Structure 1
Amino acid sequence: MQRSLSYLLISALGLTACGGSGDNSSGGIVTPPPVVPDGLVRCDAQSQHNQISTSSDLMFITEAHYKAGQPAAVIATIKGKNVSDYQYNWTQTSGPNLILISNKSPVLAFTASESGNYKFELTAVSSQASYTESIEISIDAANSAQLAIRVDHQASEGNSVSFRIDTPDVNTPSQISWCVAAGPDLNVDISSPEIALFTAPSVAEDTLSTLRVSAVIDGQSVTDDVQLLITKEDAITSQYFDERVAKTFAYKDNSPYKNDLQACVYSNQLQQSCTIARLPLIGQQASIDKQAILDRVLVSHQWMGQNFEYFLENLDPNSDFATLLQSVTAIVISYDVRPSFYWVLTGAIYLDPNDLWLLAEERDTINEAPDYRSGFGNDLNFLMPWRYVKNNSYTSYVVPRSVRTDRTPQELMPDLASLLYHELAHANDFFPRSVHASLSGPTLLDDYLRRSDAEQLVSDQLIELYPLASQEMVNLAEVSFKGETANDTQKSYIASDISSFFSPDRATDYYAYSTRREDAAMLFEEALMSHRYAIQRDVAVTDKPDNPTASSITVDWGQRGRIGDIKLESRAAFVIDQMMPELNGLSLVSDLPTPIEMKQGQSWSDNLTISPVNSPQLYRVAPKANSSPELRLSGDRHVRPVD
């Protein structure tokens, strides 16, 4: 797997030990010599931290001052050891209750709403040793104006890193500037002043870096520091995960696959696919229930597994996802996965936690490194937008990251459900439950290659029985989704040409032409969203003005609920019967609403309100009246077409 990282590498960072009740031992934290500034400016005053010794080799690093309402952290290190060799569990033992989102990390991040004394207990366990120690801190009352950077955390060397400043509507910070408050110089992208983006450097030892932000709030000069613990990791030896992945752990500590999950599905040392004997599909187990699924969840933060478990228990009443998940080996949810995808090499599904957070504190932990999608198809003169709607409203949650708020499970459900239906359709295309007993391995990849060569996959059979007709759309998809160069004829096509190719054919979406695998997944996704949630997918062909927006593009042709078109009935029913035969595909598709035609000549935005409204709107679109969802274009939710 190749994951894009755009920001320059930075040098190893360090911490100067000082103050507190601890001794002067480094505790594994590097103190490099001073260096000449080269990138982000150095702060006039360097950060001061306390190192607190304990009766064991476990040590704590605390901040010089803690304020209520300001993000803070307590950091654990172990003398002579790499932090990554241990597993952590923090608990709060006294003080007003805190939300501890990073309780499985060496960096315990939190924001106290009240002043007072707070005490924490940490257990750190490795294969060689176990430590349990406590630390107490005092938090002062909040200042009348103060800055907040989120969020202190640990990152493996080579990970993408992002920090964000709170920018509330009231007392919004201005005159924002960043500087290095500890360690050597950094090359940081602060082209958006409220966000800092960079790549954690290679380090010889676990290393702490500190960035400081200064700003003006309500006429007062304010600052805040943010901490990053960069951990030393084994060298990257995998040809598949060839850029650094985040530190992850099994969500269920008692999982029988605890020691296999990371090594087999999310490791920079993965050399080849694990065998089925070591990590079988969930559906190949003797006992198949939701606990068996949770035993296969690998996370970077505990809350990700907890929210996924909540989704399975409370938002999957028909057990669709529990059933479909039988065709994967593992579920990886990590702060550096973006976008979500399924990968046959490991048999796992990889989920972007942006679709799973409920609390603002959870969203704070998700990396904001830019999600690089291709610029393929820029020479083409049409667009094919899409959206999911219910009762003439968007169902996607689009509150921007700058607005720090919680959301309800009902608000996360539509995006997560459509994503899971699509990615799990790939897993069930390759390995439907009907073939689980006959898989012979030794790896899933071996079985996939045999099945693919024999054209036995569901998508192979679909295209054989019910082929798509438009070769023009297939050729255009090569340009838009695979990077082929558009020829002069393709460059000359306008929206009406594309409408004449697409509308009479039997694909649900432009992206379906990219590969037969995506064709099957799009059919399954759209059918199940309409059937289970009465959420319909809009698709259209529009012009391509400069700086296109939902209100500036003009619809030449479009449909709401295209999956209900009689032309698609046999194709959708076949896919459903192969992947979830208990649903009776033909009956399901026959009951779907008849498509609604869009109004030619009106904008994409104006074509939102084309359905009769039957029930109250359940999904929040945006926090402000003048906010509107971004324009989504076909295929923009996926890394690349699955072949």
Structure 2
Amino acid sequence: MGISMPLKLLGLMACSSLLMACGGGGDSNTDNGGVTPPSTSLPRCTDSISPLLVTTSSSIRFQTEPTYVAGQSSAIIANILNRDSQNLTFRWQQIDGPNIQLVSQNSPVLAFDTPTAGGYRFSLHVTGSNLDVSGEIGINVDPASTGVLNVRQDHQVVEGNNVSLRLGQQSGLSAANISWCVASGPDLMVDLSDPFRPLFTAPSVAQDTITRLKVNASINGNSLSDDAFVLTTAAPAISSQYFDTPVARTHAYRPASPYANVLAGCVYSNQLNDSCTINTLPLIGQTSSDLNRETILNRVLVSHDWMGDNFAAFLAQMDPNSDFARLLQSVTAVVISYDVRPSFYWVVTGAIYLDPDDLWLTPSQRDTINEAPDYRSNFGDDLNFVMPWRYVKNNQYASLGVPITVRADRTLAQINPDLASLLYHELAHANDFFPRSVHASLTGPRLLDDYSRRNANKSLISDQVSTSYPLMSTEMMGLANVRFLGAAANNVQKAYQPSDVSTFFSTDIASDFYAYSSTREDTAMLFEEAMMSYRYQILRDVAVTNKPAVLTANTLVIDWGQRGRIAQDSLENRAALVIDEILPELDGISLIESLPEPIAMTQGQSWRQTLAISPANAQLKGQNNAPTNDVLPRFEPELHLSGDRHRHPQQ
């Protein structure tokens, strides 16, 4: 998590004072860091395929699959005759048949799973320049067959954007002998290193173009196949010096918002060439300080409506103290898009960008999120230690891990630990730059101009923290430069053992290794950990361990570790300063003193063994009326290393 210029050109400016880092709930797919992912030319299918069926309703043309089967992932593709979909607004609704959860109702590609056999009918309303048309389309769904192969999810993508598909498992049975081919459409170079998750870049097209892929596989001895449809849409040439690689189509979550017409152009556009003025898109807190959630939702930009729905539900149900409503006063917009990975805050636009992986509640919603992984260089490979972290409550992981292969729902309470920690961190950056106390004095004309003045005067909250309570370990700063910024490790750094790093870190006043990557991250880490402990009684573990060939919770051996380090006496004043400046409604010193005392880990135990180090049945201090995640995780979350939810741009 952190502050970022999100795309390639901005990565070249990594040393600029404008940014320190970015990050969030997943791996980045905006920059390959000089490492080319493996890919191969996908063969053309040799067997014949049934053509799509075409039905015309008004000026809308519907393309449907030859057959639909209950339980099978399916699609209907719409287009306007003699017109591409660029700058058109699509709105699908189901009007007949068993209820289907529609998660792509704003796309020309309506993707869905039909629950049972029978008749289904949908309406579509398309609007745009000199266009306002509606149409209806019906399909008949056959009963489920004995074996189903499912590729999720058919969707629309802008040319040049990343594409991922997911071959689903069936009732615990694993597909074998998997092969992919292009049935129709342009040739593709595809990464099949994981045959269950093909990855490719959408080809350049002169007009909206359907690519049809086919997968063949065997399940339990049965040969099965399925088609996947990707509509690659033409887009204007990229002119932005900021967003210089393709971004997904987005739209205002509230169409009637007074900012609906400027949101995308100001914060997520391949045609953005200069920051918008604060007259065009001010901070939320410059227009309203009453914490009205509708005012916030008027600034939400999404690629899929479910993202805005879940964010709205989170604000309504999981923010009883209005922390996030207050912190969001310091952003211009909230961008939630399937291709944002990882999450970040960016001072150039004043917006926060959220990875929807922290927001999905149903498998169908998760299907819409791009899975393209991060192929960045492995910084710090020459170092002899790692520093894992995790959030825990009642000696259990606070987060709910759900493997991508599992079709499971999540509740708002279950996503709360990950989403809350993400928001506390990213919004700490926004409030570091533009706390509510300065909103009335911002003069613009752009936020970037105000930032430049504040930065020159060393007026940021993080400047105050680093001046009053500076981090002292030059060794940790040098190691952070290697681990997070990609600097080459020198011989001294290569020789450091975990015991050396334990001494460097434990005797200084950082809450996490990542804090040494920049003063801005230092401030955000302090705020995030303090608020998670205070509001939710969720404690952060940090440790220094060995670096085995295979990193697991069992193979990492503790040299030094601590639970709830934020409450350590030596960190108290710096953490309290951050809280007082960002959330003056709270008393920083009182808050920190209310937190449970840190608990030391036992040297020589594994990372897994130290999970249950809190006293049994201990009543944690702090607030007790905040919502908590009382559902035990069904799956253990993945192992986290310091900084892995964060990404510094490549130099």
TM-score range, shorter chain: over 0.9
- Whether the aligned pair in 1 keeps the contact of 2:42 and 2:182 (CA below 8 Å) is no
> Cα 1:217–1:9, aligned 2, differ >3 Å: closer, same or farther?
closer
2:250 aligns with: 248
**Cα separation, 1, equivalents of 2:223 and 2:649:** 50
Tell me the alpha carbon deviations over residues 304-324 of structure 1, each in whole angstroms, 9 at most, x when there is no partner: 000000000000110100000
Would you say 1:567 and 2:570 are equivalent positions?
Answer: yes
The amino acid that maps onto 2:512 is D
The amino acid that maps onto 2:199 is L
1:311 aligns with: 314
- Whether the aligned pair in 2 keeps the contact of 1:518 and 1:642 (CA below 8 Å) is no
- Whether the aligned pair in 1 keeps the contact of 2:31 and 2:376 (CA below 8 Å) is no
1:622 aligns with: 634
The 3-state SS of whatever aligns with 1:425 is helix
**Cα separation, 1, equivalents of 2:445 and 2:377:** 35
**Cα separation, 1, equivalents of 2:375 and 2:278:** 33
Would you say 1:76 and 2:84 are equivalent positions?
Answer: no
The amino acid that maps onto 2:582 is M
> Cα 1:432–1:269, aligned 2, differ >3 Å: closer, same or farther?
same
| Counterpart selection for 2:206 from 189, 204, 207 | 204
2:17 aligns with: none
> Cα 1:314–1:374, aligned 2, differ >3 Å: closer, same or farther?
farther
Task: Indicate the structure whose relative CO is greater, using CA pairs within 8 Å and at least 6 residues apart.
Answer: 2
- Whether the aligned pair in 2 keeps the contact of 1:339 and 1:352 (CA below 8 Å) is yes
Shifted more, 170-179 versus 265-274: the winner is 170-179
The 3-state SS of whatever aligns with 1:325 is helix
Would you say 1:640 and 2:648 are equivalent positions?
Answer: yes
| Counterpart selection for 2:594 from 580, 591, 595 | 591
**Cα separation, 1, equivalents of 2:365 and 2:60:** 27
Would you say 1:508 and 2:511 are equivalent positions?
Answer: yes
Q: How far apart are residue 629 of structure 1 and its match?
A: 2.9
Q: How far apart are residue 227 of structure 1 and its match?
A: 0.7
Shifted more, 507-516 versus 216-225: the winner is 216-225
The amino acid that maps onto 2:152 is R
The 3-state SS of whatever aligns with 1:449 is helix
Q: How far apart are residue 230 of structure 1 and its match?
A: 0.6
**Cα separation, 1, equivalents of 2:358 and 2:377:** 22
Would you say 1:362 and 2:365 are equivalent positions?
Answer: yes
Q: How far apart are residue 9 of structure 1 and its match?
A: 12
Q: How far apart are residue 374 of structure 1 and its match?
A: 4.4
- What does residue range 213-224 of structure 1 map to in structure 2 within 5 Å? 213-224=215-226
Would you say 1:332 and 2:335 are equivalent positions?
Answer: yes
Would you say 1:4 and 2:7 are equivalent positions?
Answer: no
**Cα separation, 2, equivalents of 1:610 and 1:283:** 42
Q: How many residue pairs end up in the alignment?
A: 612
**Cα separation, 2, equivalents of 1:206 and 1:248:** 17
Tell me the alpha carbon deviations over residues 270-307 of structure 1, each in whole angstroms, 9 at most, x when there is no partner: 10111000000000004641111000000000000000
The amino acid that maps onto 1:307 is N
**Cα separation, 1, equivalents of 2:567 and 2:639:** 24
**Cα separation, 1, equivalents of 2:503 and 2:115:** 60
> Cα 1:365–1:144, aligned 2, differ >3 Å: closer, same or farther?
same
- Whether the aligned pair in 2 keeps the contact of 1:281 and 1:327 (CA below 8 Å) is yes
Shifted more, 72-81 versus 170-179: the winner is 170-179
1:186 aligns with: 188
Q: How far apart are residue 630 of structure 1 and its match?
A: 2.2
2:354 aligns with: 351
1:16 aligns with: none
> Cα 1:641–1:242, aligned 2, differ >3 Å: closer, same or farther?
closer
Q: How far apart are residue 619 of structure 1 and its match?
A: 3.9
| Counterpart selection for 1:434 from 415, 434, 437 | 437
Q: How far apart are residue 169 of structure 1 and its match?
A: 4.7
- What does residue range 136-535 of structure 1 map to in structure 2 within 5 Å? 136-286=138-288, 288=290, 289-535=292-538
1:51 aligns with: 54
Tell me the alpha carbon deviations over residues 144-200 of structure 1, each in whole angstroms, 9 at most, x when there is no partner: 111111011100101111111111453332221111111233211112111111010
Q: How far apart are residue 372 of structure 1 and its match?
A: 3.8
**Cα separation, 2, equivalents of 1:327 and 1:617:** 28
**Cα separation, 2, equivalents of 1:331 and 1:59:** 34
Would you say 1:131 and 2:133 are equivalent positions?
Answer: yes
The 3-state SS of whatever aligns with 1:450 is helix
**Cα separation, 2, equivalents of 1:169 and 1:121:** 33
**Cα separation, 2, equivalents of 1:531 and 1:118:** 50
Q: How far apart are residue 568 of structure 1 and its match?
A: 0.5
**Cα separation, 1, equivalents of 2:544 and 2:130:** 61
2:604 aligns with: 601
**Cα separation, 1, equivalents of 2:38 and 2:539:** 44
**Cα separation, 2, equivalents of 1:86 and 1:261:** 16
- Whether the aligned pair in 1 keeps the contact of 2:37 and 2:375 (CA below 8 Å) is no
The 3-state SS of whatever aligns with 2:440 is helix
**Cα separation, 2, equivalents of 1:43 and 1:596:** 63
**Cα separation, 1, equivalents of 2:649 and 2:590:** 29
The 3-state SS of whatever aligns with 2:324 is helix
The 3-state SS of whatever aligns with 1:292 is helix
Tell me the alpha carbon deviations over residues 38-65 of structure 1, each in whole angstroms, 9 at most, x when there is no partner: 533424113410111123x211111111
The 3-state SS of whatever aligns with 2:550 is coil
> Cα 1:111–1:7, aligned 2, differ >3 Å: closer, same or farther?
farther
Tell me the alpha carbon deviations over residues 479-531 of structure 1, each in whole angstroms, 9 at most, x when there is no partner: 11111111111111111111111101110000001100000000000000000
**Cα separation, 2, equivalents of 1:493 and 1:514:** 19
Would you say 1:631 and 2:643 are equivalent positions?
Answer: no
Q: How far apart are residue 377 of structure 1 and its match?
A: 1.2
Would you say 1:557 and 2:521 are equivalent positions?
Answer: no
The 3-state SS of whatever aligns with 1:551 is coil
> Cα 1:617–1:292, aligned 2, differ >3 Å: closer, same or farther?
closer
Q: How far apart are residue 642 of structure 1 and its match?
A: 12
> Cα 1:641–1:516, aligned 2, differ >3 Å: closer, same or farther?
farther
**5+ long unaligned stretches in structure 1:** 11-36
- Whether the aligned pair in 2 keeps the contact of 1:40 and 1:188 (CA below 8 Å) is no
The amino acid that maps onto 1:621 is P
2:92 aligns with: 90
